Amino acid sequence: MAMDQVATLVIGDSPADHELKDMIDFFGLSDKRITVQLKNNSKHLKVEKLPCLILDGKLIYQYNAIAKFLAANSSSHTGKSDIEWNEIWQYLEYRSADVQPNTRDNAKIQSVLMEMNSILATRTFVVGFKQSLADIILYLGLYPIATSMSCESKQRYKHFSRWFDQNQYLAASSFHLEKIYFPKKDACYYECIGVLVLEKQLKDLAQLCTLRNDSK
């Protein structure tokens, strides 16, 4: 659906709704007559659920559908073919089904990281040869997981780390997210070694304190 008329994005207070709001600026659509309204401030707008994009009397619901619409009307981040668009849609569904519900389950987090690391072993971006909507959606969805990754984990999933770091460089400020530190390979190695040495020193100190207390 092409955007040749005024469109209104109606959102609530959820983080996902605000991601869509930020996408308008990120995709360079803020000058194409898309307005954003909070539902609480727009009670006259009759929408069944949020988020909702209103265009020419038609209502587009659901995060993935709206995100795809915004990307399709941008000058970048689109699929070059129907096949690429299908791939992009698959990754949008992957975030919804496999990433979003599992950001607090460590076993599932490791499964997601392993799968993403495998996908990115031979790719710079997940679809095509430039950043697409799929990269943006996955970057946003995986952000909570990346914030909790240890140095060792970042090194283990090096392809994922490289991809995430590249995408945060391109998008973090637009989505008001703090950049996550991803050390270079050698730095990461020595950082991990440093952590292990510190842990051993703390254990030795604890054992020494125990022995001294026992001897009293």
Residue 114: other Cβ atoms inside 10 A: 13
Q: In the prediction, which pLDDT does 189 show? A: 47
Last residue of a domain, one of 21, 40, 72: 72
Q: In the prediction, which pLDDT does 164 show? A: 97
Q: Is 175 found in the same domain as 88?
A: yes
User: Number of structural domains, the chain?
Assistant: 3
3-state secondary structure of 176: coil
Q: Is 177 found in the same domain as 98?
A: yes
* CATH number of the domain enclosing 95: 1.20.1050.10
Q: In the prediction, which pLDDT does 131 show? A: 95
Last residue of a domain, one of 29, 54, 72: 72
CA–CA distance, 75 with 29 (Å, rounded to integer): 9
Q: Is 164 found in the same domain as 107?
A: yes
Any domain includes 2: no
Burial tier of 97 (Cβ tally within 10 Å: 0-12, 13-18, 19+): exposed
Any domain includes 187: no
Q: Is 158 found in the same domain as 137?
A: yes
* CATH number of the domain enclosing 50: 3.40.30.10
Residue 167: other Cβ atoms inside 10 A: 20
Mean pLDDT per block of 10 residues along the chain (216 residues) reads 74 94 90 79 74 90 95 88 95 95 90 96 94 96 94 92 95 93 64 54 72 66
Any domain includes 48: yes
What is the residue range of 23's domain?
Answer: 7-72
Q: Is 29 found in the same domain as 99?
A: no
CA–CA distance, 37 with 39 (Å, rounded to integer): 6
- Which candidate, 97, 192, 187, places its Cα nearest to that of 137? 97
Q: Is 49 found in the same domain as 96?
A: no
Q: Is 121 found in the same domain as 86?
A: yes
Q: Is 90 found in the same domain as 64?
A: no
Q: In the prediction, which pLDDT does 152 show? A: 87
Q: Spell out the residues 6+ positions from residue 101 whose beta carbon is closer than 8 angstroms to its own.
A: none
Q: Is 166 found in the same domain as 117?
A: yes
Q: Is 162 found in the same domain as 107?
A: yes
Q: In the prediction, which pLDDT does 28 show? A: 87
Q: In the prediction, which pLDDT does 157 show? A: 95
Any domain includes 1: no
Strand pairing category for 58-61 and 7-11: unpaired
